[in-house]
Structure formats: structure tokens, C-alpha cells
Amino acid sequence: MFLQRAVIGVVPRFPAIGAAIFESGPRALTERLAKLLAEAHEAGRLRVANPALAAVQFLSIVRGDLDIRGLLLPATPPRRAEIDAQIEAAIELFLHFYGPSEP
């Protein structure tokens, strides 16, 4: 969260820094996940018509409110159990929607 706060603070004056970090971090992660989702779709393990959108959706539900809470409430970070529960719920929700069709 410290890096995120620092970057947000300098981006208005140095937009290239924000763009570089976005391209090498969040965008790279989303593209890699989209590729994995496309492969899972092709193998019949998931039903993902739009892997790029599904990747954004998955990462968004995993993050939930954890990132904004980290930015606005740095003195009270979420507990490990809370983070794990958020991740498990996100996976369950994602698989409920994108999981393979029942035979």
C-alpha cells in the first residue's frame, strides 16, 4: 500500500511513472490471467467467452474493498483470515458463473 500511495501522489506531475507501473504490474497481471482463462476455456474447464473481461472481474472481486481500506485505514489492516476468506469467496463466485456446464 505504501508504494500505491506514493505513486498516486506523484502521477499528476509524472504521468509516465503511473503508466509504467500500470503496464508492468496490473495490466501484465490481467493479461496473464486472461491468457490462463482462455486456455482453461479451450480445454473445457471453464466457460469464458471474454477472457479479458473475466480477468478484470476476477481481480476486482478478489480485491473487493481491501485495497481502498488499505489506502484509507492503514492503521487497521485486514487480518490474514479476512483476506483468505475474501479470496475463497471470490473464487467460489467466479467459478459459479464461469465454471464448466454440468454434464
Residue 103 covered by a domain = no
Say how many residues make up the chain. 103
- What per-residue confidence (pLDDT) applies to 103? 58
Residue 17 CA to residue 61 CA, distance in Å, equals 26
Give the pLDDT of the chain (103 residues) as one tens digit per residue. Answer: 677 888 888 999 999 999 999 999 999 999 999 999 999 999 999 999 999 999 999 999 999 999 899 888 989 989 999 999 999 999 999 999 999 877 5
pTM of the full predicted structure? 0.86
3-state secondary structure of 61: helix
- Containing structural domain, residue 10: 2-98
Report residue 2 as a C-alpha cell. 505504501
**Amino acid 74: pLDDT:** 87
